[in-house]
Amino acid sequence: MARYFTDEHEWIDVEGDTATVGITDYAQGQLGDIVFVELPDAGTAIDKAKDAAVVESVKAASDVYAPISGEVIETNSSLEADPALVNTSPEQDGWFFKMTIGDSSQLEGLMDEAAYKSFCDGL
Amino acid sequence: MRYLPLTDSDRSAMLDVIGAPDIDALFLDVPEEARISGPIEGLPMHASEMAVEKHMRRLSKKNLAAADAAFFLGAGAYKHHIPASVDHIIQRGEFLTAYTPYQPEIAQGTLQMLFEFQTQVARLYGCAVANASMYDGSTACWEAVAMASRIARGKKRKVVLSGALHPHYAEVVRTMAKFTDDEIAGAPPSLTAKPDDEGLIARIDEDTSCVVVQYPDILGRLPDIAKIAEAAHERGALLIAVNTEPVALGAVKSPGELGADIVVGEGQSIGVGLQFGGPYLGLFAVRDEKHVRMMPGRLCGETVDAEGKRGFVLTLSTREQHIRREKATSNICTNSGLCALAFNVHMTLLGEKGLRRLAMENHRLACLAADRLAKVPGVKVLNDAFFNEFTLLLDGDARAIVRKLTKQNILAGVSLGRLFPGNDGLTNGLLVAVTETTTEEDVETLAAALEEVLA
Amino acid sequence: MSAPNASGWKPGTPVEGHNAMSGPDTATGNRALMLEEPLLFEIGHIETTGVDFDFAGKLDLAGVEQPQPPSPAPSSRLGGFERTEPIGLPGLSEPETVRHYTRLSRQNYAIDLGLFPLGSCTMKHNPRLNEKIARMPGFADVHPLQPVDTVRGALEVINELAFWLIHLTGMHGVAMSPKAGAHGELCGILCIRAALEARGDAREVILVPESAHGTNPATAAFAGYKVEDIPATPEGRVDLEALKARLGPDVAGVMITNPNTCGLFERDMKAISDAVHEAGGFVYCDGANFNAIVGKVRPGDLGVDAMHINLHKTFSTPHGGGGPGSGPVVLSEALSPFGPLPYTARTGDGVVHLVEEEDAESFAKEHFGGPLQHFGRMTAFHGQMGMFTRALSYILSHGADGLKQVAEDAVLNANYVLRSLDGVLDAPFGPSGPCMHEALFSDKGFADGLSTLDLAKALIDEGYHPMTMYFPLVVHGAMLVEPTETESKAALDQFIVALRSVAERAKAGDESLRTAPHYAPRRRLDETLAARRPMLAWNDPDLA
C-alpha cells in the first residue's frame, strides 16, 4: 500500500485497483471542528482536481478535490453520524471515499509523506 | 439636524485628531469631477418633524383604509384583528433596533423568539423544521421550487404549477425559471366548484421535480393534497404546498400531515397587517428533516453555553451566502425578523385554542356571507368547499362592479379580471374574503349594493 | 481541497472559566435584572388564550352553536379536510405574553442601548417619527389589491421615494419592488441578463471581487451566471488592469461594491465602468454602503448601470433583528426598460399610475413611446410599502442638505475611530489614507492563541456590540468598524477607550479574553454542537 498527498491537503491510499481518499491532519486542524461531510454517491465519476466532496466546520465549507480521476465505489457512512471522526482520526477512520483508479499515471505528480510534511512546514 | 449629534466644534476637533484640513479631505478618493460640493439641486432641504408628519398625513388621507370601508379583499393578504400588545412588543427598541443575531451571547431575545417561531410554523404546517422566515409567500414559493430542483440535482427540470396558484406567485416562479432553465408547466384556472386535482395529476411525469399546489387555492377551494402528494411521490416528484392564509390551518388539516414535502406560505395574517403588500412574512418548512441542508434562509438551533445553560444560535450557516458564496442554497441574507416576531407574539396570544376559535369564526362568518350573497339575484357561489374566501360568479364584469362599489365605500373583493388579466373566461369572477373583522352590516351593505348594481 | 478556512474564523469552543459574576447562586437562576425566561412551550398551555372572541352572534344563523366556538360539524364547508389532530400551539394570557417578550427583549443588544459598530450593516438610529407614520391607517391598513383610485396616496409615496432615489443617485429609473438588498441584487442582475438577451448576446460570466458580500456571488449564480474573482490591489481596491485583461465577450458584467467592504472608495470606478461598457458588459454596484456617499457623489455619474439601495442602511428603516429589509434598484437608461413589474409612474396630468402585467405594454407605448421589455415579476404585490413610508419620512426630515451631512458625519466618525487607534490596532489599509464610513482592522499583533473572536467577545463585556468579524475575507482576522453618523463624539470617545483596552489586552496575551464574555446573558455558545446535532424546533420531552 502506498500513500500519496496532494498540495490541496488530500491523502490517497492506493491498494491494488482501488484508492481511499481523505483529508490530512493539517487540513482538519485548519478547519477546526468538523460538523458535516457531504460525500458523493457511489457510482459517481469524478475527475482529478474537480470537486468530489464538501467538508464543513461551523463557519467554513471547503471543497475536497479528487486527487485522481476514477469512479466512487464506497463512501464512509460513519461520517454521517459522527463527522468528528475527521478531527479525531483524519488519516484513518475519518476517510471519505474509496474510488477506482482511472489513470494510475496521475499518481505520479503527488507527494509522499516526507514531501507533504515539508510542504506544510513551508506554509 | 435632529438625528445628527455632532456639533460644528466636535467636527473641527475631530478633523484635528484625524489631521485633515476639512471634510472634503476625507473624500479625496472620490474623483473631483464627480464630487458634489453643495446639496444636490432640485431637492428640498431638511424639514421639521411636524412638517414631515403633515406631508405624510396628507398622502395617507388619499387612501381608503380598510377599516373605513365594508371590506372583502383577500387573495393572499387578509385583514385580521391584531391585538394591541403585538405592536407594543415589536416596537420595543431591543427588538426593533437589533441586528441579525450574529453575536448570540447578546441576542438571545431574538434567537429564542426565532426558535419559538420556527416551532410554531413547523407545527402549524405539519412539518419537522421551519426556517426563520423568508421575504414573503411569493418568494418563499420560488425558493421552494429552486430547492426541489437542487434535490433533484438538476436531473428533473419540469415544475408543474396548479392553475389555481396565486397568479403573482406563479409569475414570480415563471420569471425566475426563465433564468434557471426550469420548465414551467401551468394552466389557467377553470371555474369549477372543485379544484381539478385529476388534471393536475395528469401533468406530472418522470421529469417533474416538483408540483406546486395552493391550499386553500386562489379561488378559495380545497384541493386534495393527500391524493396529489401520492401521485407526485409515485413519479419521484416533490409536492410543494402553498398556503396564503395561515388562519385556515386552525380549521383544516395541515399540508405536511397530508403528505406535502415542502410547505411554504404567507404569514401576514398573523400579526403583520395589510401594509399595502409589504413587508410580509414568508414561511418555509420541510416535512422531513433529511431536507434541512437543502433549505434556504436562516435557521436557529438550540445549544448550550460554556456554563451548560441552554441557549440558541444561528446554525447550519454553511448553506448560506455569507459562507458558501456562489454555492449557497439561496442569495437571501435578510429575512423578515420583525414580522416573524409579530407572528410569534400574535400566535402566542392566540394559542391553539384561540387559533381554532379564530378559524372557526372566520369560517362561520364566511358560510353566512356566502349564503346571504347567494340570495342576490345574479350572484352564484362557485365553491363546494372553502375556508374564509370564496368565489362569486356575477352576471356582469366583476372588475367594473368592484370599481363602481368603491364609490359607496365598499371594497367588494378582488376581481378575477384583476388577478388574471386577459383571461376572458374569468371576468365575472369575484373573490370575496370574510374574516372575524367582517360585520353583519358589511355583508348586508355588499349584498344590497350587488343587488342594485346587478338589477 | 480549496483553501481551508481563508478567513481564519473558527467558532469559539466553550472554555470553562471562572464565574466572574461572583456571588452566591440564586434559586431561580436569575441575577437581579438579568432574568432567565423559559420557552413558550414550557410555560404556555393549549387551553390558554390571550384573545377574546365576540360570539354574540351579530350574524344570526340557526344551527350554529353559540357562544362557544361554534363547531364546524353541522355547517362546515371544509370539504372533509377538517383538522382532527391537535396542532401543539401553547398560548399565554396577555399579561404573561407581555412579560415573556419583555424579558426576552432584555437579552438583546440594540442601537437604542448603545453604539453598534457592525461594519457593512450600518446600525444607525431609527427615528420614531418613521414608526408613527408607517402606522397611519392610510398606509398600514390598505390592501395591495384595492382599486387604484382608493390607494393614490400610497402610489404617491412610492413615486415620491422613487424620485428621491433617482435624484440622489443620478440614475434614470428605479425598480421599487425588491424585498431586501439581496433581492435587489437579483433584480439588477436579471435586468442585465434581460438586456443582454434582448440584443441576442448570451454572456456567461459575472466578475465579482473577493472582498464582496457573499450575496454578490450567490446572486450571480442564482441568476445562472458563472462567477469569477476580480483581483485586488495591495491597497484593497479593484485591480483595474487585471480587470481590463479579463473583460471580453463572455463577461456579462461586474459587481462592484462602492465604497467597498474594506471601507475604501473605488477611485477607478469611472474607468472600470468605461472598460466594462466598452467590452459590452454592464456595471452592477452593490449599494450597501451608499450611506457613505449619499449627497456627495452620484453613482450615475460614475457609469453604474444598476445599484440596489438598502433602505435599512442608508435610510434608517429598522433592522428588526434581521429584517424586513427593502432593496429598490436604481437603473441606468440602458437597463430601465427591463425592470420588473409592477411599477408606478406619474403621467403629465400629475396622476400616479400603477402599472401591472395587463397594461404594461399599452402604458409604455403611450407614455414612453416604446414597448417595455420588463423581465417579469419578483414578488407578489408592490414591495415593502411599510419601509417606503419610513424611508421617505427619513429622507424628507434630512432633505438634500441633511443627507449630505449624513455622509460627511459617517465618514468623519469612521476616520476618527481609525486614527484614534493608530498604533493600537493594525489597520491594513490605514496607512494609505482616509477610509470612508467604516474602518478596517486586523488581528495582526495579537498574542498567540488570541483571535478576533476573543476581542469581539471582550467588547461585549465592555457594553458594546462587536464590530463585524472575519469580513471581508481578504483580511485575516478582519474587524470592520462602522460607527455611523448618529453617534456623538462622547459616545465615540468612550468606545475608543473600550476598544483600545481590549486591543491592548489581546496584544498582551490576557487569557481572560478567551472566556469572554463574562457578563452577558450567556457565555460563549457551543456552535459546533448546534451544527452537529441540529435541534431546530422544540420537542416536548414528554412526547419523546
Q: Residue A30 maps to which CATH number?
A: 2.40.50.100
The predicted structure's pLDDT at residue C430: 87
From A9's Cα to the closest Cα of chain C, the distance in A is: 6
- Which of residues C528 and C66 earns the better pLDDT score? C528
Is residue B172 located within the same domain as residue B210? yes
Is residue B316 located within the same domain as residue B376? no
- Residue A40 CA to residue B381 CA, distance in Å, equals 54
- Domain holding B193, by residue range, is 84-346
Block residue for cell numbers 469631477: B33
Distance (Å) of CA B16 to CA B7, C293, C419, C489: 14, 22, 11, 13
pLDDT, tens only, C87-143: 999 999 999 999 999 999 999 999 999 999 999 899 999 999 999 999 999 999 999
Is residue B306 located within the same domain as residue B213? yes
Q: Is residue A110 part of a domain?
A: no
pLDDT, tens only, C465-515: 999 999 998 899 999 999 999 999 999 999 999 999 999 999 999 999 999
Is residue B365 located within the same domain as residue B295? no
Cell of B285: 418548512
Is residue B311 located within the same domain as residue B396? no
Cell of B304: 448550550
In chain B, residues with a C-beta closer than 8 Å to the C-beta of C485 are 4, 6
Q: Is residue A31 part of a domain?
A: yes
Distance (Å) of CA B418 to CA B71, B173, B241, C356: 17, 19, 24, 10
Q: Is residue A23 part of a domain?
A: yes
Is residue B75 located within the same domain as residue B97? no
The predicted structure's pLDDT at residue C57: 44
Domain boundary among B320, B346, B372: B346
Q: Give Cα B277 distance to the centre of its chain.
A: 8
Average pLDDT over residues C181-192: 95
Cβ neighbours around C265 below 10 Å, total = 27
Greatest Cα-to-Cα distance within chain A, rounded to the nearest angstrom:
38
Cβ atoms of C358 and B424 closer than 8 Å: no
Cell of B152: 433533484
Q: Is residue B398 part of a domain?
A: yes
Phi, psi of B328 (to 5 degrees): -65, 160
Q: Is residue A111 part of a domain?
A: no
Q: Residue B441 maps to which CATH number?
A: 3.90.1150.10
Structure-derived torsion over alpha carbons of residues C238, C239, C245, C250, reported in degrees to the nearest 10: -20
ipTM of model: 0.97
Q: Residue B218 maps to which CATH number?
A: 3.40.640.10
| Residue C543 predicted with pLDDT over 80 | no
Q: Which H/E stretch holds residue A56?
A: strand A51-57
Q: Touching check for B185 and chain C: CB below 8 Å?
A: no
Is residue B319 located within the same domain as residue B372? no
Amino acid at C239: D
Q: Touching check for A56 and chain C: CB below 8 Å?
A: yes
Q: Subunits that touch chain C (at least 3 Cβ pairs < 8 angstroms)?
A: A, B
C427: left (phi over 0), alpha (psi -120 to 50) or beta: beta
Domain boundaries, chain C: 132-390
Average pLDDT over residues C410-438: 95
Q: Is residue A112 part of a domain?
A: no
Is residue B342 located within the same domain as residue B421? no
Q: Is residue B12 part of a domain?
A: no
Q: Is residue A80 part of a domain?
A: yes
In chain A, residues with a C-beta closer than 8 Å to the C-beta of B324 are 61
Average pLDDT over residues C197-207: 94
Phi, psi of A104 (to 5 degrees): -65, -15
Which residue among C4, C10, C470 sits closest to A9, beta carbon to beta carbon? C4
| Residue-wise DSSP of B246-312 | GGGGGTB--TTTTT-SEEEEE-TTTTT--GGG-S--EEEEESSGGGGGG--S-EEEEEEBTTS-EEE
- When divided into structural domains, chain B yields a total of 2
Q: Is residue A89 part of a domain?
A: yes
Amino acid at C255: M
Put simply, the answer to whether C296 touches B368 (Cβ < 8 Å) is no
| Residue C61 predicted with pLDDT over 70 | no
B42: left (phi over 0), alpha (psi -120 to 50) or beta: left
Is residue B274 located within the same domain as residue B412? no
The per-residue pLDDT string of chain B (455 residues; one tens digit each, 9 = 90 and over) reads: 999 999 999 999 999 999 999 999 999 999 999 999 889 988 999 999 999 999 999 999 999 999 999 999 999 999 999 999 999 999 999 999 999 999 999 999 999 999 999 999 999 999 999 999 999 999 999 999 999 999 998 789 999 999 999 999 999 999 999 888 788 987 778 999 999 999 999 999 999 999 999 999 999 999 999 999 999 999 999 999 999 999 999 999 999 999 999 999 999 999 999 999 999 999 999 999 999 999 999 999 999 999 999 999 999 998 888 888 888 888 888 889 999 999 999 999 999 999 999 999 999 999 999 999 999 999 999 999 999 999 999 999 999 999 999 999 999 999 999 999 988 899 999 999 999 999 989 999 999 999 999 99
Is residue B445 located within the same domain as residue B326? no
- Residue B65 CA to residue C471 CA, distance in Å, equals 45
Nearest residue in C to B120, CA atom = C89
Cell of C39: 420557552
Q: Touching check for B180 and chain C: CB below 8 Å?
A: yes
Q: Do β-strands A61-65 and A34-38 pair in parallel, antiparallel, or remain unpaired?
A: unpaired
- Domain holding A52, by residue range, is 2-102
- The percent helix, strand, coil of chain C (3-state, each to 5) is 35, 10, 50
- When divided into structural domains, chain A yields a total of 1
Q: Touching check for B183 and chain C: CB below 8 Å?
A: no
Residues facing C175 on adjacent strands:
C329
Which residues, numbered 62 to 121 in chain A, qualify as contacts with chain B under a Cβ-Cβ cut-off of 8 Å? Answer: none
Cell of B325: 458564496
Cβ atoms of C408 and B18 closer than 8 Å: no
Q: Is residue A108 part of a domain?
A: no
Q: CATH for C132-390, among 1.20.120.550, 1.10.3720.10, 3.40.50.10140, 3.40.640.10? A: 3.40.640.10
Global pTM reads 0.95
Is residue B186 located within the same domain as residue B207? yes
Cβ neighbours around C15 below 10 Å, total = 11
